[in-house]
Amino acid sequence: MRSEHTQPFMQLRSVGKRFGGVEALRNVDLDIHSGEVLGLLGDNGAGKTTLVKVLAGVHSLSSGEIWCKGQSVDISAPKVAHELGIETVFQDLAMVPNLGVTDNFFIGREITTTLIPKLIKVLRSKAMHADARETLNRLDIHIPSLKVSVDSLSGGQRQAVAIARAIRWKANLVILDEPTAALSVPEQNKVLELTRSLANQGVAVIYITHNMSDVLAVTDRIAVMYRGLKAGELITAQTSQGEIVEMIMSGKRSRA
Ligand SMILES: Nc1ncnc2c1ncn2[C@@H]1O[C@H](COP(=O)(O)OP(=O)(O)OP(=O)(O)O)[C@@H](O)[C@H]1O
Ligand SMILES: [Mg+2]
């Protein structure tokens, strides 16, 4: 759990994002803390994925500022997000389907040996397989072969591999956008367990879901989006499903 007095890993201030006439995000203030699972909730079209894409360097801001460890940052590209240790796990785009597990682990960050400087580099396949296998074993994730393409894995195995990859690259912030949609119950439980272990290792986690039992099981704090605005925040241990649903539906805090 986080200490109340530590600086947030990230701070969003008055963040806005426009797509032509659509204001997908308006004036959003949000603090993201290391060691905490922050649930990002809201109805369809509320702005959750847009907020994630702003943090992942997919969309540029229309207005506002983002701070990382107290410094103003311009997350102008996914590469910048990676350099800040921000890893995003999308339900469908988590991995390249026709590549193997190890290839997906190291995509864009392959281990190589330089034979002739600036001319020939060779991939160190064995080292990458061993490295991927070590991470998966440590997290108790069972994948029979790391060479098979990831589209032959189950949905839960894919999510688990994507989370393991984020751990391998020592992410500071892992964003999970609807990670358990379409998973079996044991697979959902594995993803929830991995999410919790990320936070226990000091990683900040943003967890987007429409599933209330996931929200109550895994989040520490909840931010509710409503039509592009942040409707409010709730502490999971001090709220109820009824209060959360009310805020999602009306954009307002229900009266006690
Ligand atoms: N690339 C885009 N171009 C135009 N409008 C967009 C674009 N991306 C998102 N929007 C609009 O921004 C708003 C917020 O969409 P967003 O995908 O962030 O919602 P969401 O909260 O993730 O919803 P869901 O729960 O359905 O995934 C919607 O009105 C959507 O149509
Ligand atoms: Mg979305």
The three state secondary structure string of 76-110 is: CCHHHHHHCCEEEEECCCCCCCCCEHHHHHHCCCC
60 ligand 1 Cβ < 6 A: no
Query: In this structure, which residue's CA is closest to atom 31 in ligand 1?
Result: 45
pLDDT band at 2 (very low <50, low <70, confident <90, very high): low
Query: In this structure, which residue's CA is closest to atom 11 in ligand 1?
Result: 24
Instruction: For the chain, give the percent of residues with pLDDT over 70.
Output: 95
Domain coordinates in residue numbering, the chain: 10-250
10-250 CATH fold:
Rossmann fold (3.40.50)
125: which 2 tokens? 């396949």
Kindly state the helix (H) or strand (E) to which residue 37 belongs, with its residue range: strand 37-41
Q: How many CB atoms lie within 10 A of CB 109?
A: 11
- Average pLDDT over every residue of 229-252: 96
92 ligand 1 Cβ < 6 A: no
Higher pLDDT, 220 or 156: 220
Which atom of ligand 1 is closest in space to residue 51's alpha carbon?
18
Question: DSSP for 191-226?
Answer: HHHHHHHHHHTT-EEEEE-S-HHHHHHH-SEEEEEE
Q: What is the CA(45)–ligand 2 centre distance, in A?
A: 7
pLDDT at 8: 96
Q: What is the CA(223)–ligand 1 centre distance, in A?
A: 17
52 ligand 1 Cβ < 6 A: no
Instruction: For the chain, give the percent of residues with pLDDT over 90.
Output: 55
pLDDT in tens, 45-55: 999 999 999 99
Ligand closest to CA 53? 1
Q: What is the CA(49)–ligand 1 centre distance, in A?
A: 7
Helices (H), 45-170: 48-55, 78-83, 101-106, 125-138, 155-168
Which atom of ligand 1 is closest in space to residue 46's alpha carbon?
21
In the predicted model, is pLDDT for residue 100 greater than 90? Answer: no
Q: What is the CA(83)–ligand 2 centre distance, in A?
A: 24
Q: What is the rounded CA–CA span in Å between residue 165 and residue 83?
A: 15
pLDDT in tens, 46-79: 999 999 999 999 999 999 999 999 999 999 998 8
From 172, 150, 13, select the one nearest 94 (Cα to Cα): 150
Q: What is the CA(108)–ligand 2 centre distance, in A?
A: 26
Query: In this structure, which residue's CA is closest to atom 29 in ligand 1?
Result: 45
